[in-house]
Amino acid sequence: MTTGKAYLVGAGPGDIGLITVKGLEAIQRAEVILYDRLANPKLLDFAPPNCEFIYCGKLPDRHTLRQEKINELLVEKTAAGKIVVRLKGGDPGVFGRVGEEAEALAKNGLSFELIPGITSGIAAPLYAGIPVTHREYGESFAIVTAHDKSKDGKSTLNWEGLAKGIDTIAFYMGVGNLSHICTNLLSHGKPSSTPVTLIQWGTFGRQKTLEGTLETIVQRVEEEKFTNPAITLVGNIASLREKISWFEKKPLFGRQILLPRTGLNTSNLAKALEEQGADVIEFPKWKRVKITPDRLILSKLSMYSSIIFTSPESVEEFFQILIEEKIDIRSIQADLYGMSQKSVNQLLNKGLLAEPTEKLRKGGTILLIGSSNNIEETSQNVLNFGNFETFTTSIKEVDETYLPIFKRMLDDSKLNTVIFPSSASVPILIKALEKTDSLTTDMLKELEIYCFGNQTMNALLAHEILGAEQTKEATIPSLLLSLAKKSDS
């Protein structure tokens, strides 16, 4: 029987930009991905269509899958000839039990690779403005687990060596045992004034930092109701945070944004928001189903006076169809329009001048191009401009395998903002939310709402979603400016 190969991959601490190139390449080839709670689910977007996802999340009080079952699944899927990725938060070799999983694969004679990742004990402090070593403050650094296999889960460590011999210590998942940690460090000679910094959800836009000392931090955690996942950093090097904190100063830091996804891929808007420090959840996730093109429409392309593209993807799909059907683009004599600025920009990238549909003139023969659901959602708007025909490039369906992933993302975040980039995004999101009980339309109305353009505002009003703030211009820079001003106020 043909055997596959397993890749035991470090996903990094949260920010998906911190995964290694080699780790990302493994995800892009995967046929099965077993992923942990602390591996950012957005990384699954890079997996091929029809990849099987298996959640292996663990919480201190409950495990979705026991470690023995995870080992069995790794062996079973790899032995079945699959390319298997075991996606683990941070670095798989740092308290990730990768040794046990690799042993199970090796014992069964299966091929595997270990791909390191950036560990949270280094990345989270850096995102909080604290390097873990510095010539003036700390030349030694230790990574320590705050839990072990003992009956009470309290680590039996060389506390004297840690207290007297190590300048900076990063405790993983240390909130539950924080009192135990502080008591032992104090009793073994660490000064009570030693700074302690807790970093929750490090490298995410929802990162939260709590500062204190060995004497005060336990009370502070109780007062703030601070919880895992968090890194507990002990050491004088924390004094650098005041000088070089950078991530938490980004203009959109703290924004937890829901962004309706109308296309197949991560949008440029999502990337721009994340670059400014926001956490962005794009929903829903789509899958494309190809269909046989309408050759009658293709045979009379020269007859249309106006052609409207409903999405950026419809541009790509349409011109791919022209290539496959060997149709010369010069047969198109029509004026070109996009239902959104993104669609207009996609046409411009093809070297074709286009304008938004607001500038469409009445009369003439109109062709509306897009996926089946985009045409359905936008055709009513086109009626205002006269008679039209439609050309369906594909059927786009909500990928329901991502619904439980979406729920987990919502459970770990606290949404405060929703952005509607186009009129089509309004019914798309409302309809998609019906497939999940994690977020209702009424809950949506409690968030800060932003939208692009008059058509999008009208679509919101039609669905009784009030109070949206419309950007001055239907552009990403205009939106970023509005969000940043609101965050500062």
| Enzyme catalytic residues | 36, 58, 173
What is the spatial distance between Cα 76 and Cα 34, in angstroms, rounded to a whole number? 12
What is the β-pairing status of strands 208-213 and 195-200? antiparallel
| Alpha helices in 276-324, H assignment, sequence order | 295-299, 312-324
Nearest residue to 103 via CA among 74, 79, 81, 83: 74
Please state, in angstroms and rounded to a whole number, the distance separating the CA atoms of residues 375 and 339. Answer: 11
Work out whether strand 417-420 and strand 448-451 pair parallel, antiparallel, or are unpaired. Answer: parallel
In terms of DSSP bridges, do strands 111-115 and 32-35 run parallel, antiparallel, or are they unpaired? unpaired
Please give the DSSP secondary-structure letter assigned to residue 276.
Answer: T
How far the first Cα of the chain sits from its last, in Å, is 64
Q: Which residue has the tokens 């694969």?
A: 105
Tokens 């990574």, located at residue: 143
Q: How many residues does the chain have?
A: 489
Structure tokens at 122: 């280094």
Task: Report the DSSP beta bridge partners of residue 260.
Answer: 283
As a whole number of angstroms, the distance between CA 58 and CA 189 comes to 35
Strand partners, 366: 306, 388
Asked whether the CA dihedral 463, 468, 472, 476 is positive or negative, the reply is: negative
Residue with tokens 């009424």: 442
CA distance 172 to 191: 21
Tokens 């959800």 -> residue: 201
> Dihedral of the CA atoms 459, 461, 465, 467 (nearest 10)?
120
Give the torsion sign (CA, 446, 450, 452, 455). Answer: positive
Q: C-alpha angle 90/96/102, rounded to 5°?
A: 120
